[in-house]
Amino acid sequence: MFWMQPFSLYRSWSWLPALFGVVLAMTLGTACAPKELVRQPELEPYTGPVTIQVLKNSIGFRDTKTLKALTDVRIFKDGEPSGSFSGVFGYQTPDSLKTSFFGPFGITMMEFLIAKDMLQVYLPPKNMLYEMRSPEISFSSLLNGKFRYTMQEEGDSYALLAFDVAETTAMPVMKYFFDRTYLLNRRIIVYKEGEAVITIDFDGFNRKVPEKTKLSFGNSTEMHITLQEPEYDTEIPSEYFKEIEHTDKKVLPFQDLLKRFDPSR
């Protein structure tokens, strides 16, 4: 769980949709009967006008309706291997994402869920459930007017800058980079008080969807995530994204989970 340390840097939750939308992965694929893998439609060069709205629509998974895959995650500290784990990933447009991470012998070590405005992290070994309800964690919050956007050209990329409308600072909270040929979202930079604290790079595109992601944190930690055997636009039962029930679990606010990994404590 040491990989959660960088998350404690933030007072605002505006970074959550971008970060968790690309990091986390699923159990659903192993529970389903084998299916023919669905490839994404052929990608055509973009030839229309490039506007703020066009770039906003190009963030993340774009027009992918569902995505499920196995995932491999490797951790590096100061350039040296520091750990690895596997998991499974499920996403359904626009606001549902569920992840399970596994330990030795296939034991579920953590479940992560975003469903509309609910964020939940369940740790089965401790029977502890951390949760937070806020419209800010919704993926659609990127498009619903919460942020003010500007765009500019930087080198061989288009850059989309997102500003928190509630803040008076002139510095962005997020910056998205897109290549000029296909408008693929190649990089996201997350800022705090004008300083870049997380850089997310995307590669290995299967048409519009990146199957390789690298997250670089300010404490010299990197996470390399690879999606394996992805399936696109196939059926995922809606109940898969149901909120995790409280039942006999110890329920705590999500902020308490972040405090546990605060290196300043």
| pLDDT tops 50 at residue 37 | no
Segments in the chain forming alpha helices (H): 16-23, 28-31, 52-56, 254-260
- pLDDT tens digit string along 117-142? 888 989 999 999 999 887 656 656 55
pLDDT computed for residue 203 by the predictor: 93
Average pLDDT value for residue range 251-260: 77
pLDDT computed for residue 95 by the predictor: 78
- pLDDT tens digit string along 184-198? 999 999 887 788 888
pLDDT computed for residue 42 by the predictor: 74
pLDDT band, very low/low/confident/very high, at 9 (cuts 50, 70, 90): very low
Q: Which of 75, 86, 41 is nearest to 208 (CA)?
A: 41
CA distance 135 to 150: 23
pLDDT computed for residue 21 by the predictor: 39
- pLDDT tens digit string along 201-229? 999 988 878 889 898 887 788 889 898 99
pLDDT computed for residue 145 by the predictor: 62
Average pLDDT value for residue range 4-25: 38
Per-residue CA distances from 218 to 75, 125, 137, 152 (Å): 14, 29, 22, 25
| pLDDT tops 60 at residue 11 | no
> Do 213 and 201 meet the contact criterion of CB atoms below 8 Å apart?
yes
Residue-range domains of the chain with CATH = 2-260 (2.50.20.10)
pLDDT computed for residue 214 by the predictor: 92
Number of Cβ within 10 Å of residue 185's Cβ equals 24
CA angle 189, 69, 114 (to 5 degrees): 60
pLDDT computed for residue 251 by the predictor: 96
Task: For residue 69, give both structure tokens.
Answer: 């895959």
| pLDDT tops 80 at residue 259 | no
> Do 162 and 172 meet the contact criterion of CB atoms below 8 Å apart?
yes
pLDDT band, very low/low/confident/very high, at 96 (cuts 50, 70, 90): confident
> Do 77 and 223 meet the contact criterion of CB atoms below 8 Å apart?
no
pLDDT computed for residue 175 by the predictor: 93
Q: Which is more confidently placed, 57 or 37?
A: 57
> Is the model's pTM score more than 0.75?
no
| pLDDT tops 60 at residue 116 | yes
